């Protein structure tokens, strides 16, 4: 590894197309077997094994054995944050009024960013939390609870005090690559997304990290936060 600029080693790992494809396949926080990651990257199992080994040694992926299969997932939420930020840099801003391609519309609307909600719905929800005093900006990269935060999140079934004890950032501002504004990440963002899935406000779409806002979710988001998410 380059001792002066260690970022170059990480950039080299992410910049190889097959490895980038495998990282993106894991961007919704799931653990996937090597064979499925090879298919996602369009390469042979033998080639995938070499790429995955490099990603593990480089600290981007974690691996464990389960029966005859080896499963891989992102080593930490920070890897997901890095991919999201790189996406914002690598894509051009959308022209005002321009329509999104149909094949990516669902992904831009609502998706998983590692384990928290991203896309237009995620960004608008973070904005609504700020307006309502649930969260406030703290420094350059973090959120902190606002005056209404503890009671507001408690009404959704979330214990902010308990989440603060997690071994990760409590509430992080994660730059959204499609909206170019922050959404809510960290322990609070992950718990919120899990709760919205549990309440069936959101539903996973198969074979993608895009999420569907259900009829119930659209109603609740509109009534509680003024978000048009249908």
pLDDT tens sequence across 38-64: 998 999 999 999 999 999 999 999 999
158 contact partners, CB below 8 Å, separation of at least 6: 188, 191, 192, 195
Whether the pLDDT of residue 6 is over 80: the answer is: no
User: Residue 99's pLDDT is what?
Assistant: 61
pTM for this structure? 0.74
> What is the rounded distance in angstroms from the CA atom of residue 197 to the CA atom of residue 51?
33
Of 97-101, 112-116, 182-186, give the lowest mean pLDDT range: 97-101
What pLDDT score does 114 carry?
A: 86
Tens-place pLDDT, residues 125-148: 999 999 999 999 998 899 999 999
Query: Using an 8 Å Cβ cutoff, are 36 and 68 in contact?
Result: no
Give domain limits for the chain.
7-75, 78-225
Q: What percent of the chain has pLDDT over 90?
A: 62
Residue 159 banded pLDDT, cuts 50, 70, 90: very high
CA-based nearest residue to 227, from 190, 183, 178:
183
Ranges assigned E (strand) in 158-224: 172-175, 182-185, 202-204, 211-213
Is 48 exposed, middle or buried (CB count within 10 Å of its CB: 0-12, 13-18, 19+)?
A: buried
7-75 in CATH: which number? Answer: 1.10.10.10
The torsion of the CA quartet 204, 218, 143, 94, rounded to 10 degrees, works out to: 80
Distant-in-sequence, close-in-space partners of 43: CB < 8 Å, separation ≥ 6: 18, 51
């Amino acid at each position: 590894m380059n001792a002066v600029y260690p970022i170059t080693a990480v950039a080299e790992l992410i910049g190889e197309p097959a490895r980038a494809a495998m990282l993106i396949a894991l961007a919704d926080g799931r653990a996937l077997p090597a064979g499925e990651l090879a298919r996602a990257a369009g390469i042979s199992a033998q080639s995938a094994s070499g790429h995955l080994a490099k990603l593990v040694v480089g600290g981007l992926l974690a691996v464990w054995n389960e029966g005859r299969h080896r499963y891989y997932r992102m080593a930490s939420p920070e890897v997901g944050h890095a991919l999201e930020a790189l996406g914002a840099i690598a894509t051009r801003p959308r022209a005002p009024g321009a329509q999104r391609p149909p094949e990516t519309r669902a992904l831009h609307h609502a998706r998983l960013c590692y384990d928290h909600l991203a896309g237009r719905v995620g960004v608008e929800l973070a904005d609504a939390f700020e307006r309502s005093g649930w969260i406030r900006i703290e420094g350059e990269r973090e959120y902190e609870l606002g005056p209404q935060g503890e009671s507001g999140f408690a009404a959704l079934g979330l214990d902010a005090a308990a989440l603060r004890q997690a071994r990760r950032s409590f509430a992080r501002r994660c730059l959204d690559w499609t909206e170019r504004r922050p959404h809510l990440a960290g322990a609070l963002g992950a718990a919120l997304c899990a709760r919205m899935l549990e309440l069936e406000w959101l539903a996973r779409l198969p074979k993608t990290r895009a999420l569907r806002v259900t009829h119930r979710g659209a109603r609740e988001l509109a009534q509680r936060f003024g978000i048009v998410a249908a």
